[in-house]
Structure formats: C-alpha cells, structure tokens
C-alpha cells in the first residue's frame, strides 16, 4: 500500500509541476516592444513622396509632423521659404491614422509600416510618403 500511496502522490506532484510550468510559459508573453501609437509619438520629417510609384522632387519643400501623446498634432509646412503651421488632433485606429485639423480639414492616412526611425504612410490611392523620425 505504501508504494501505491507514493506513486499517487508522485503522479499528483508531477501533474501540479507540469501545470505550473505550462501556466508560466503561457502567461509570459514575448516582449512585443512599443505599440504603433507609442512609436508614432514624436516629430517626423518628410523624406520621400511617391505618386504611382514615381518619386516626387521635394526640392524647396519641407514638412514636419509632430504627434503628441495627448492626441494633439502639429504640422509645419514650408514651400518657397514661408513656413505655415497647422494644428489639430490625431487618432489612431488599427493602422488608420486620422488627422483632424483645427481649420476643419481632415485627412486619413494608412500606416504601411513603422519602425523606431521610419514611418511609411499612404493617402488613399493618391500617394505614399516616407518620413524619418527627428531626434
């Protein structure tokens, strides 16, 4: 009888250990890194625009987009030496980025890809843009 009690307790102990190990493995997610929203926050400078896959000449043109953590948005646009500042709010749903400007204008962009240093977006079927993160 002693052998039977020992084998039952050993089997029970092994079951508990396996269950505990499995729960530790499934509860420990891999570090997924920062979210798209977290990576988006900061200042981005336009480096490339493509229309139908063809690069657009950006000489004399500058665009900087700043996404703030509170949902505020600032855009500085310079063409021909005169800066223009646009303010508004931004919202991210999945990979859809919506910019609501204070003047009532609204843009919807699709994030194609984002890393710590590069953001690629598409505006409907009009254009694709690449931006680099400012330090």
Rounded Cα–Cα distance for residues 61 and 38 (Å): 27
pTM: 0.74
Claim to verify: residue 117 and residue 76 sit in the same structural domain:
yes
Claim to verify: residue 26 and residue 82 sit in the same structural domain:
no
> How many domains does the chain divide into?
2
Claim to verify: residue 106 and residue 46 sit in the same structural domain:
yes
Domain with 77 in it: 36-133
Give the CATH number, domain containing residue 71.
2.40.128.280
- Are 88 and 101 within 8 A, CB to CB? yes
Over residues 101-131, the pLDDT tens digits come to: 999 999 999 999 999 999 999 998 789 999 9
- Whether 17 shows a pLDDT value over 50: the answer reads no
Claim to verify: residue 25 and residue 42 sit in the same structural domain:
no
Claim to verify: residue 21 and residue 81 sit in the same structural domain:
no
């Amino acid at each position: 009888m002693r052998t039977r009690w020992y084998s039952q307790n050993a089997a029970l102990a092994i079951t508990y250990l396996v269950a505990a190990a499995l729960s530790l493995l499934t509860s420990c997610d891999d570090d997924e890194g920062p979210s798209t929203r977290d990576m988006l926050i900061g200042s981005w400078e336009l480096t490339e625009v493509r229309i139908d896959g063809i690069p657009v000449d950006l000489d004399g043109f500058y665009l900087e987009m700043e996404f703030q953590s509170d949902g505020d948005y600032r855009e500085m646009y310079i063409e021909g030496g005169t800066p223009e500042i646009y303010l508004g709010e931004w919202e991210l749903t999945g990979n859809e980025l919506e910019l609501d400007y204070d003047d009532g204008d609204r843009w919807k962009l699709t994030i194609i890809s984002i890393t710590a240093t590069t953001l690629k977006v598409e505006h409907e079927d009009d254009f694709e843009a690449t931006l680099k993160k400012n330090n």
